[in-house]
Structure 1
């Protein structure tokens, strides 16, 4: 070994330089962890739902417990409806994004829930109830009312709940939502009043 490269205790200079830099990495570990926890703690707060879950959508009561998981975090919610030409719709917008749409529509007698659903979505619901009167999937439900018939115009009332703007999917929850929603529609003035 050449003179000046070894220290009196026998360690070369390269080894001596590595020890302090290793200490820096060890000391940086707790600081990095603290920063990570700080940022993840902040993002957890941002992911909270600060608005109230609506109890009805444009006048029609909704199963709030089943609906709630489909609602994303955010501060602002708006629920707006439109009504005309035999169609009543309701849109739920959260932080500027369309999350849920409900619809009640008068369709010519003799049609089916599959016919109604095909006009609302490109996704085919993969589950059914009551001989295909109710069709649903993880984020959509469609159904035909049992008692809402307008004999004057030969039409029957259908209804749907679509949560395509939600990242959440739960077929059991959607089944509960559409069944309860159809029952509320059957009790509504829309059912007894007939198509306009």
Structure 2
């Protein structure tokens, strides 16, 4: 009988701690970025993926000139989202990139295979053909890391709208 009472007290203590931790709702005190890597970003989808916090910082880099551009978003010092655009050889598959590069187990594919996504990652592929430029593909890969939020519909919305805005910038044309 003593063990039953002790277990009950321990359960009540755990429940009290859990409930007490939930009573303080965190708020988002930072402003969402209107663009990532120079491309307008759908803030509604982004807001569902980013965590609450005080400070958001977005760092852009070009680790490989004219081939790779990265953006990393941190909230209160924690890396929560990364976006990478990469020039690729013709024939890149969004699904293959999602599975092999990002480690997505079973991505959902749309847009004739040019977009694949899961609740924490997404990839799109923009095909650049003709027009005087060298044929290539450009991939856009987005990942959300903890304490960011997993949300399949938000990730789909983010990758589709980001890719649409990216295409409007005519990334396939060569700059002199």
- When normalised by structure 2's length, the TM-score is 0.76
Task: Provide closer, same or farther for how the CA distance between residues 115 and 40 of structure 1 changes in structure 2, counting only shifts above 3 A.
Answer: closer
Map of 2:103 onto structure 1: 122
Task: Provide closer, same or farther for how the CA distance between residues 39 and 160 of structure 1 changes in structure 2, counting only shifts above 3 A.
Answer: closer
Shift of 1:106: 0.8
Post-superposition Cα deviations, 1:117-172, rounded to whole Å, max 9, x if no partner, equal 345312234211023211001121111114x3476543211112211334422211
Choose from 177, 188, 192 the match for 2:158.
177
Q: Distance in 2 between matches of 1:130 and 1:149?
A: 17
Structure 1: gaps of 5 or more residues = 1-32
Q: Distance in 1 between matches of 2:109 and 2:22?
A: 41
- Give yes or no for the alignment of 1:140 onto 2:121: yes
Q: Distance in 1 between matches of 2:141 and 2:94?
A: 10
For the 8 Å contact 1:125–1:135, the answer to whether it is kept is no
For the 8 Å contact 2:119–2:150, the answer to whether it is kept is yes
**SS of aligned partner of 1:182:** helix
Map of 2:59 onto structure 1: 80
Structure 2: gaps of 5 or more residues = 1-15
**SS of aligned partner of 1:158:** strand
Look at both structures and tell me which one has the larger radius of gyration over its CA atoms: 1
Choose from 36, 61, 69 the match for 2:40.
61
Map of 2:29 onto structure 1: 50
Q: Distance in 2 between matches of 1:56 and 1:175?
A: 17
Q: Distance in 1 between matches of 2:58 and 2:170?
A: 20
Q: Give the number of equivalent residue pairs.
A: 157
Q: Distance in 2 between matches of 1:105 and 1:113?
A: 12
- Give yes or no for the alignment of 1:162 onto 2:147: no
- Give yes or no for the alignment of 1:193 onto 2:164: no
Shift of 1:94: 0.7
Q: Distance in 2 between matches of 1:40 and 1:182?
A: 37
